[in-house]
Amino acid sequence: MTIKLLTFDLDDTLWPCMATINRTEKRLHQWFSNYHPQITQQYTIQHLRDKRLQIAKKHQHIAHDLTALRKKSFLQLSIEMEYSASDTEQFIENAFQFYMTERNKVDLYDDVIPTLKYLKSKYRLAAVTNGNADIFKIGLGDLFEFSWSAAKAGKQKPHPIVFKSLLAAYQLHPEEVIHIGDDPITDIQGAQQLGIRAIWLNRNKKKWPEEINPPFIEIYQLKQLPELLISQGLLKSL
């Protein structure tokens, strides 16, 4: 079948994830220090991470929804700080807005914009992510037709419902989609179990885990993607 959609993972595929998260949480901790110093007097950045992990384990029904999980962690802090109901509501809103503003300040890899701009002229493009980054605030909204998230699907990749629900929502067959991502399990295995061809973007040249079926193709830079598609007969010319 003709390829109708290219889907892309976001974190560690289009930008480095941990550098973004570490910077964001550092700035959030400073924001707490400025406006809610009682929090930083009790908790370091690592303490707050550990508390959020504990919340995720306790509330498995929202573990896939990083927005809900983050807000739940702010709610827990407000309870511990003994805020009033109105102060709690304002605290959660302000803290989350600050966090998301910083979360969406990503440093895209150099080959992302040129490659996506070119591919957009040939295919429909979309994001498929376990995270909660906002493609519009990041500046990719004019390149992607839509973003499909774990929060929307109800589970995180590699759970089959993520890609299955996407296919159903947009009336696509697996053979009409190619997924590009960095993670062998969440991206490659997650897509392949639905019959979607998956391209491994292995920027750091890691060794493929032998227990997982190999990807359709492996590339080391996103800018290799157009020529790869041509070599596979999936794109006519540059």
What are the tens digits of pLDDT across the range 126-150? 999 999 999 999 999 999 999 999 9
Percent of the chain with pLDDT over 70: 98
Say if residue 219 is in the same domain as residue 127: yes
Rounded-to-integer distance, Cα 174 and Cα 193, Å: 10
> Could you give the residue ranges of the DSSP H alpha helices within the chain?
17-35, 37-42, 45-58, 66-80, 85-103, 112-120, 135-138, 150-153, 161-169, 190-192, 225-231
8 Å CB contact between 156 and 181:
no
Are 127 and 189 found together in one domain? yes
40 and 141 both lie in a single domain: no
- With DSSP H G I counted as helix, E B as strand and the rest as coil, what are the percentages for the chain, rounded to 5? 50, 10, 35
pLDDT at 34 (0 to 100):
98
Are 182 and 219 contained in the same domain? yes
* Separation of alpha carbons 182 and 152, rounded Å: 21
Question: In the predicted model, what is the mean pLDDT of residues 179-206?
Answer: 97
Whether residue 125 sits in one domain with residue 28: no
Same domain, 207 and 133: yes
**Does 91 reside within a domain?**
yes
Q: pLDDT at position 179, please? A: 98
Does the pLDDT at position 168 exceed 70?
Answer: yes
Q: Please check the confidence at residue 10 and state whether its pLDDT lies above 90.
A: yes
Domain assignment of residue 28, yes or no: yes
Element (H, E) at 64: none
For residues 183-187, average pLDDT:
98
Instruction: Report how far residue 86's alpha carbon sits from residue 65's, in angstroms, rounded to the nearest whole number.
Output: 24
Q: Do both 51 and 118 map to the same domain?
A: no
Where among 54, 79, 103 does a domain terminate?
A: 103
Give whole-number Cα distances, 63 to 25, 49, 69, 131, in Å.
19, 14, 6, 11
* Of the residues 39, 70, 103, the one at which a domain ends: 103
Say how far apart CA 238 and CA 235 lie, in whole Å. Answer: 8
Q: What domain count does the chain have?
A: 2
The pLDDT mean for the chain works out to 96
Take residue 129 and report the two structure tokens written for it: 């992510």
pLDDT of residue 18: 96
Q: What is the CATH number of the domain that holds 205?
A: 3.40.50.1000
Name the residue range of residue 37's domain: 18-103
Specify burial of residue 233 (Cβ count, 10 A radius: 0-12, 13-18, 19+): exposed
Residues 145 and 221 in one domain: yes
End position of a domain, from candidates 103, 126, 147: 103
Residue 217 has pLDDT above 80, yes or no: yes
216 in Cβ contact with 43 (< 8 Å): no
The CATH number of whichever domain residue 33 belongs to comes to: 1.20.120.1600
Q: Is residue 34 part of a domain?
A: yes
On the question of pLDDT at 237 being above 60, the answer is no
pLDDT value of residue 54: 96
Q: What is the mean pLDDT of residues 188-209?
A: 97
Please provide the distance, in angstroms rounded to a whole number, between the alpha carbons at the two ends of the chain.
21
Q: Is residue 237 part of a domain?
A: no
217 and 113 both lie in a single domain: yes
Indicate the helix (H) or strand (E) that contains 43: none
